[in-house]
């Protein structure tokens, strides 16, 4: 065996965790390259990572892979494999890093922004979810589709893992929920990502002017901010404070509230690993301290964590989505037509709430463009779209609008998923 062959043989004989890490960063590298390609000014951006991960998820399930000695360690035979669990873990880590960063970034402006626009953000988030749920109910009433499949499509179209979990809790056939979610999820990601890039171009928006509008007038240093300079810091970058926010956020997200008479044995609501860290980071980012302990995080670190978290989330979610889609379609006994129905329904549940929400935000609530789009990403519970919007706008200030509508949308979509599965 030559030296090159020995190198590759050693590379691919690594342990399972090392293979997953190598696969993840290979996905990120290729995904970034794909995301740079622009067609008439529209690109996938960071979501290129998601597309490549979906493809990898599909490739990892091909039986021919396990017949190749060099590549057999990449083979995933089912959702219970260690490799699949590791990609799920990477997805969760990425999501927590991203939403905690977003919460910290939005925190200083969040409460002021919410107070100013609460009459817009709260009803807008509610309307977006209501439109999506109404469409899901209509599809659920179509013979041959039913509540479980439609509920899964809704959670996929809104890329909402908490809604997916709630739908499975009350489903008569959880496999149909998984099938619907797997079919609708890819378009749910890509649809909102493309939308937030397309609208500024269609409106020929002056992004420099829009950034000034969302930023508002500069303010003098507040007495809270002055006090921060006198606080005790564990280290200069705020990594320790970030870690504290993650721990407290996960604890908050793990609290469960029963939604049925069956108590904790039935469907429950929780903020999960998205809502918990987001809310804790918003609070810590706003106040900046706990007693004399400084809990601020440097802007540089937040931007790194935000981008790193997003690509880890997209890589993990994409591999999971690709594997799950193959598994569910292969196991489905309902034929290709229900797959087509699921894709059409998912596209409708993604696009219609987006269009309705955008028009209402613009015409009724009179929101400036970036506030409009930011609140839409929150109302659609779309983490990838927020990352894209930050890049498109060139401003982190859109995170405050996302954080204002996201909690409303999260609570309502989980409740709606439970009600659809219970009563339809």
What residues of the chain score a pLDDT lower than 70? 1-16, 63-84, 216-223, 225-229, 260-267, 332-335
pLDDT of residue 222: 53
Query: What pLDDT score does 79 carry?
Result: 45
Residues 53 and 186: beta-carbon distance below 8 Å: no
The per-residue pLDDT for 59 is: 78
Instruction: Output the CA torsion sign for 69, 70, 73, 78.
Output: negative
Calpha distance 72→60 (Å, rounded): 9
Residue 83: exposed, middle, or buried by beta-carbon count in 10 A (0-12, 13-18, 19+)? buried
**Strand intervals (E) in 1-138:** 38-39, 42-43
pLDDT at 161: 79
Report residue 44 as tokens.
Answer: 């996938």
C-alpha to C-alpha distances, 315 to 88, 102, 178, 348, nearest whole angstrom: 10, 19, 19, 25
- 136 and 420 Cβ atoms separated by less than 8 Å: yes
pLDDT of residue 12: 45
Q: Where are the domains of the chain?
A: 3-423
Q: Which of 100, 53, 84, 72 is nearest to 243 (CA)?
A: 100
Tokens of 211: 């950034």
Dist CA 126 CA 51 (whole Å): 30
pTM > 0.85: yes or no? no
Cα separation, 295 vs 245, in Å, equals: 9
pLDDT tens sequence across 104-149: 998 888 888 788 888 899 999 999 999 999 999 999 998 878 899 9
Residue 292: predicted pLDDT: 87
Per-residue pLDDT at 376: 96
Give the per-residue pLDDT at 229: 64
**Which tokens is 288 given?**
């900046």
Structure tokens at 126: 């509610």
Helix axes 82-140, 398-423, angle to 10 degrees: 70
First to last CA, the chain: 63
Q: What integer pLDDT is reported at residue 398 of this predicted model?
A: 93
């Amino acid at each position: 065996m030559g030296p090159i062959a020995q190198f590759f043989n050693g590379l691919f004989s690594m342990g399972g965790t090392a293979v997953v890490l190598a696969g993840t960063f290979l996905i990120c590298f290729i995904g970034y390259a794909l995301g740079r390609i622009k067609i008439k000014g529209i690109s996938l951006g960071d979501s290129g990572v998601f597309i490549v991960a979906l493809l990898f998820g599909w490739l990892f399930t091909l039986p021919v892979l396990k017949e190749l000695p060099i590549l057999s360690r990449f083979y995933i035979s089912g959702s219970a494999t260690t490799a699949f669990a590791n990609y799920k873990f990477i997805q969760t880590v990425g999501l927590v890093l991203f939403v905690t960063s977003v919460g910290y970034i939005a925190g200083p402006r969040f409460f002021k922004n919410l107070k100013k626009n609460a009459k817009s953000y709260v009803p807008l988030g509610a309307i977006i979810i209501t439109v999506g749920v109404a469409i899901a109910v209509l599809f659920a009433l179509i013979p041959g589709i039913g509540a479980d499949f439609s509920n899964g499509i809704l959670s996929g179209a809104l890329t909402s893992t908490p809604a997916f979990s709630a739908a499975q809790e009350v489903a008569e056939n959880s496999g149909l929920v998984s099938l619907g979610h797997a079919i609708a999820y890819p378009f749910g990601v890509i649809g909102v990502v493309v939308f937030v890039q397309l609208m500024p171009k269609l409106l020929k928006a002056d992004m420099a002017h829009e950034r000034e509008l969302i930023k508002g007038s500069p303010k003098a240093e507040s007495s809270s901010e002055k006090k921060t300079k006198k606080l005790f810091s564990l280290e200069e970058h705020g990594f320790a404070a970030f870690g504290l926010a993650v721990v407290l956020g996960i604890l908050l997200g793990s609290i469960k509230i029963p939604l049925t008479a069956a108590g904790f044995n039935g469907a429950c609501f929780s903020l999960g690993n998205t809502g918990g860290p987001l809310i804790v980071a918003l609070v810590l980012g706003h106040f900046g301290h706990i007693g004399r302990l400084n809990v601020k995080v440097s802007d540089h670190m937040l931007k790194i964590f935000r981008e790193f978290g997003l690509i880890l989330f997209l890589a993990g979610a994409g591999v999971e989505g690709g594997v799950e889609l193959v598994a569910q379609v292969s196991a489905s006994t309902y034929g290709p037509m229900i797959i087509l129905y699921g894709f059409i329904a998912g596209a409708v549940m993604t696009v219609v709430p987006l269009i309705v929400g955008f028009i209402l935000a613009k015409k009724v609530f009179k929101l400036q463009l970036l506030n409009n789009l930011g609140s839409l990403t929150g109302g659609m519970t779309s983490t990838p779209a927020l990352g894209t919007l930050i890049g498109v706008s060139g401003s982190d200030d859109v995170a405050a609008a996302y954080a204002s509508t996201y909690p409303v949308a999260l609570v309502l979509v989980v409740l709606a998923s439970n009600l659809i599965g219970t009563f339809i």
